[in-house]
Structure 1
Amino acid sequence: MLLTGAQILVECLKEQKVDTIFGYPGGAVLNIYDELYKNSEHINHVLTSHEQGASHAADGYARSTGKVGVVVATSGPGATNLVTGIATAYMDSVPMVAITGNVPVALLGKDSFQEVDIAGITMPITKHNYIVKDIDDLADTIREAFYLAQEGRPGPVLIDIPKDITINKTEYVKKVPQKVEKREEIKDSTSLDEALALINESKRPFIYAGGGVVTSNASEELIQFAQTIKAPVACSLMGKGGFPGEHPLYTGMVGMHGSKASNIGVTKSDLLIVIGARFGDRVIGKADSFAKNAKILHIDIDPAEVNKNIMTYRHIIGDVQVVLKKLNSQLEEMKRKEWIEEIETLKIKHALKYNDDILSAQYVIEKLYDVTKGEAIITTEVGQHQMWAAQYYKYNKPKTFLSSGGLGTMGYGLGACIGAQVGNPDKIVVNIAGDGSFRMNLNEIITAVRYKLPLIVLIMNNHVLGMVRQWQTLFYGERYSYTTLDQDIDYVKLAESFGAVGFNVTKKEEVEETLKKAIEERRPVIINCEIDKDDKVWPMVAPGAAIDNIMLGD
């Protein structure tokens, strides 16, 4: 069948069972958009307000559904506007395919109008990328891109397609996509026996679970593993939801804003079992003091992460779900009563606390959990509100907490919220934001209104860049350099001007009723919560300090 490049692209998307893409049209992708118009009954295209918003929407769609997120942008500035979203997905191992247009092949490298070397720009932040210079290579390139985005450790892949490739014709033969299989092999089989011996010998095992647990769908296996070996479990930010937040063995986050039970537990453990995590600097703090009493057993699919930041005692390279299944099949239930009681005492003694006399973000988030019965999908921007959302909403299921962990992208949450709501139309989806982050991409409220998405934006409005101000208070002599946002913005009027619904919350007594009203609206809602500018995220470990050296804000 003789088809144009644009037609081949759309047919390949259909091969991959892509039913939703996010994007923004432009000159270099006009032929692609013409074919999307003709195939609108097969592929739902969500037009965002900005390409960055489209990239975050594709990311949120992927994280919440487990499918590949797809984003399309034109050449030049359209392509470069995707860069932050691609880097966000790369840092957090999110499967995404970014499709960009470019100038015709003959004009590449000649500083043509709206030309950039987007493949060169994104090389460090993609699993792989392509410039398709021959129409005969297009179909197989698209198929390979989707496979690579999902196989092993997921991540973003970029396909750059010059405009003349979308016009040229070649024979297209439909193919069944290569099935993405889990990697069943474990690179060193003896490491399993060594791991079992370490677990059986340990008196104080502790589990540190990361985003790999969520990515590999290993939540049930992790629960069984922890219950069998009687080990407390702490999560990284990306691991939230990988282990139930209400489980008796759960101790909270670990690291800079981790719970005291988690940080002390890691420090006191004699065996730290690290599952699908990369030892980020915000977790380990002072590297030579991290888990100083423990042998470290690291389980991860990516060998590049092993011994990168922290030296391990033993490691297992393999898919987390596969490895846990093999371990579970060979373990017998253990008894570690004294260790569990010690951790439980720490949890009770050092439970999270906040000033209950005033309206606070912590109170709002706890009420949100109650009102939604813990069933919502939560996205966040980046800052204090992000940490409060991680601490005070209990995530009992994977793929319900979507946040930019590795890159820390302010402006991520609203786009991700749109993507998650599109992918999960029957779910309550809430973006927890700070006023600083919200301003970065608030134009995407227009997108939510256009598509009648019943998402909720919950702004924790302290009129400052809260996390930066917190650091300025603690480490910079209270010199608040350009962190005060003193514009008096009426967020209710802002919401209404876009066609959304707005609420102001200034008292604790208004929170529950307002949240219930917002859910009942079934259309985009912005809730502005006025909180104190000097409220801080506690606990906190100072940068470079050992994680058991914890400031509690007393």
Structure 2
Amino acid sequence: MTLTSTSLSKDDSEKNYPIWITGAEALMDSLKVHDVKVIFGYPGGAILPIYDAVHKAENDGWLKHYMVRHEQGGSHAADGYARSTGEVGVCFGTSGPGATNLVTGIATAQMDSVPLVVVTGQVPRPAIGTDAFQETDIFGITLPIVKHSWVVRDPSDIAKVVSEAFFIASSGRPGPVLIDIPKDVGQEFFNYERILPGKIIPKGFKRNGEINDADINQAIELIQESSRPLLYVGGGAISSGAHEEVETLANNYQIPVTTTLMGKGVFDERDDLSVGMLGMHGTAYANFAVTECDLLIAVGARFDDRVTGKLDTFAPSAKVIHIDIDPAEVNKNRRVDVAIVSDVAKALSKINEKYFNNKTSCNTKNWLEKINFWKNKHPLFVPPEEGEIYPQEVLLKVRDFAPEAFITTDVGQHQMWAAQYLRNAPRRWISSAGLGTMGFGLPAAMGVKAALPNEEVICIAGDASVLMNIQELGTLSQYGLNIKLVIINNRWQGMVRQWQESFYEERYSSSDMSCGEPDFVKLAESFGVKGFLISERKQLLNEFKSALDFDGPALINVRVRRGENCYPMVPPGKSNAQMVGYVNSES
């Protein structure tokens, strides 16, 4: 007897098992019991048995599948889904080119510690290793960029593999995992038994031990002794959901807070204690603060090169407390004085608890006054309202008109301007930081909107990077995803041009995008997406808000000054204090 997934529900009692179904149906039921409601993917020959089961799941009403226009778009959409919700994102791709098209998205998620379960189709088991049509060893290809991976050679392993996959993707430091399923495994019938979430602890999995009270006490002693402390907060605090704990610690001890690109949103940037983002394109006052602090409290951050500049000049006089869930990050780039290997929220809670019990304190009055002096002397550039539109103006308008929106970005100058000028709530800033993946923003926005259909979602893109995945306008159109795609259009690969101007004597090799640029408005409308062109300041003041308020997916092409550079900037090989282009209010 053949029972399909229509016969399966979470409320089935154990007496109904085992059930005779296919491997593909077992996969879908295993995803169902892990509360998967949304999948992004693209079908193909080797994964067709699974897509047949997807069809049944959608008819049953428990699943929504979004057919993207390119597998890379599917992996980025699953990434955006995961970042905006904290849940595991899921995407599908077929064998061969379908699987390899997922690689960039997998690497993006790995670099930024995003939990994904990636399912690929594979050629039938007897054909593996024969160079069959559309065969690639995606297991081997992705080994360096996943937390773990499986090739399922027996359908009876599917429930166990899925359970392990969700556990590993979301446990500890999150990241992507891959499940490769040969076509005949998806077609084969077997006696399936459900495995509920958390029932299997993967072999070799090691949980972090208890937090050592001695380490907590030593950290508190360093905080108490410090007169110039600085909280340096990264994406690990977002993953941990440690927003309240960071705020409490900062307020308890009156410690200023700087965040990495991945950490944006973990602390209210309107708060007086915020100094914004640090690093290559961070605020001048954040970079001065990290250079002169005497205690650096690194929270869920990894001392990335774009943050530190020349490593031996980063916080050169500071003692360091490093709180991170991944022991591999501790003492990797910077030797630390106190290491707390733990979930960030739990460690900060321990520190905050001891503060409330003992009312420990830290005198930072003079330090905060100095930081306020830097803020006043070296503010971010305020564009004059004259001449051509400044790109910074566009971000300020987004901040004014959509202060609560979920923001995704592509990669380049527009990304750094967005990071500098936008102020985001937790999980409302979604950007490819570690890998710097052009084309990330639009499909990531699709993932956010699929997860949170009632939220405002805006993608900030550049005219060069948006073309990397522009085909996803078709996905927006098909599913009516009400996303606003704002293109900061300077007709350059902007960051490449800036580096060529600064370090290559203005030899602009292959960075001018003006020749061959599409008419973005017509292109959008050819996909069935509303297009807007903003080329004059009066339009930015009047029509831009109407475009953001349009009821439906829309592309807003904003033409800005061509030669504007993104400052401040720390040149390669320099210390963070050796920025160029920062504003001196007295000059």
TM-score w.r.t. the length of structure 1 is 0.97
Q: Which amino acid aligns with 2:390?
A: S
Whether the aligned pair in 2 keeps the contact of 1:186 and 1:317 (CA below 8 Å) is: no
The answer for the alignment partner of 2:25 in structure 1 is: 7
SS at match of 2:458: strand
Q: Which runs of 5+ in 1 are unaligned?
A: none
Q: Give the match's secondary structure for 2:142.
A: helix
User: What residue is the counterpart of 1:18 in the other structure?
Assistant: 36
User: Which position in structure 2 is the counterpart of 1:539?
Assistant: 568
1:378-437 Cα offsets, whole Å, 9 max, x none, are 000000000001001111x21101000000000111110111111111111011000000
User: 3-state SS of the aligned residue for 2:464?
Assistant: helix
Cα pair distance change 1:180/1:276, threshold 3 Å:
farther
CA deviation vs aligned residue, 1:310-348 (integer Å, no higher than 9, x gap): 111221100000000000001235442111111111112
- Paired with 1:119 and 1:433, the residues of 2 have a C-alpha distance of 32
The answer to whether 1:473 aligns with 2:493 is: no
Q: Which residue of 2 aligns with 1:138?
A: 158
Output the CA distance in 2 between the equivalents of 1:102 and 1:39: 21
% identical aligned pairs? 48
> Which of these residues, 523, 536, 543, is aligned with residue 514 of structure 1?
543
Q: 1:523 is aligned with what amino acid? A: G
CA deviation vs aligned residue, 1:189-233 (integer Å, no higher than 9, x gap) = 421111111111111101100001111000000000011111110
Kept after mapping to 2: 8 A contact 1:371/1:512: no
Name the amino acid aligned to 1:365: L
Name the CA shift for 1:441/1:9 in 2 (closer, same or farther; >3 Å): same
Within the alignment, does 1:493 sit opposite 2:512 as a pair? no
Query: Which stretch shows the higher mean deviation, 91-100 or 256-265?
Result: 256-265
Q: Deviations over 1:10-44 (max 9, x none)?
A: 10011101000000001111111111111101110
The secondary structure found in structure 2 opposite 1:191 is: helix
Shift of 1:180: 11
Aligned equivalents of 2:481, 2:579: Cα separation in 1: 41
Aligned residues: 552
Change (3 A) 1:512 1:198: same
My pick for the range that moved more, 536-545 or 520-529, is: 520-529
- In structure 2, list runs of 5 or more residues that go unmatched: 1-18
Q: Which residue of 2 aligns with 1:330?
A: 354
Distance in 2, matches of 1:524 and 1:360, equals: 25
Q: 515-524 or 181-190: which moved more? A: 181-190
Aligned mate of 1:254, from 264, 268, 278: 278
**Structure 1 CA distance for aligned equivalents of residues 348 and 136 of structure 2:** 45
CA apart distance, 1:115: 0.4
Matches within 5 A, 1:104-503: 104-178=124-198, 185-186=209-210, 188-331=212-355, 332=359, 333-356=361-384, 357=386, 358-372=388-402, 374-395=403-424, 397-486=425-514, 487-503=516-532
1:483 maps to a residue whose letter is: S
**8 Å contact kept, 2:123–2:134:** yes
Distance, in Å, in 2 between the alignment partners of 1:482 and 1:330 is 57
Structure 2 letter corresponding to 1:485: M
Show CA shifts across 1:59-86 (max 9, x none). 0011011111000010000000000000
CA–CA separation in structure 2 for the residues paired with 1:180 and 1:498: 45
User: What is the rounded CA distance, in whole Å, between the counterparts of 1:422 and 1:95 in structure 2?
Assistant: 17
Amino acid at match of 1:540: M
Q: Is the 8 A contact 2:410 2:431 kept in 1?
A: yes
The partner residue of 1:101 within 112, 121, 125 is 121
Identify if the C-alpha distance between structure 1 residues 445 and 417 changes in structure 2 by more than 3 Å, giving closer, same or farther: same
Q: Which residue of 1 aligns with 2:55?
A: 37
Query: Is the CA contact 1:453–1:522 (under 8 Å) kept in the aligned structure 2?
Result: no
| Alignment root-mean-square deviation, CA | 1.5
Cα distance in 1 between the residues matched to 2:518 and 2:529: 16
Equivalent position of 1:51 in the other structure = 71
> What's the TM-score once normalised by structure 2's chain length?
0.92
**1:138 CA drift (Å):** 1.4
1:39 partner SS: helix
Residue 179 of structure 1, CA deviation: 7.6
Inter-CA distance 186–261: structure 2 relative to 1 (3 Å threshold): farther
**Contact 2:79 / 2:109 at 8 angstroms: preserved in 1?**
yes
In the aligned structure 1, how far is the partner of 2:546 from the partner of 2:283?
A: 33
Could you give the per-residue CA deviations for residues 164-184 of structure 1, whole angstroms, max 9, x where no partner exists? 111112222223211899967
Alignment check: 8 A CA contact 2:163 2:196 kept: no
**What CA distance in whole angstroms lies between the structure 2 residues aligned with 1:153 and 1:493?**
43
Counterpart contact for 1:183–1:319, Cα < 8 Å: no
Residue equivalent to 2:15 = none
Residue pair 1:299, 1:316 contacting (<8 A) in 2 also: yes
Q: CA deviation at 1:516?
A: 2.4
Q: Deviations over 1:114-172 (max 9, x none)?
A: 00000100000000000011122111001100110000100000000001111112222
Contact 2:160 2:200 in 1 (8 A): no
The runs of at least 4 aligned residues of structure 1 exceeding 6 Å deviation read: 179-184
More moved, 181-190 vs 119-128: 181-190
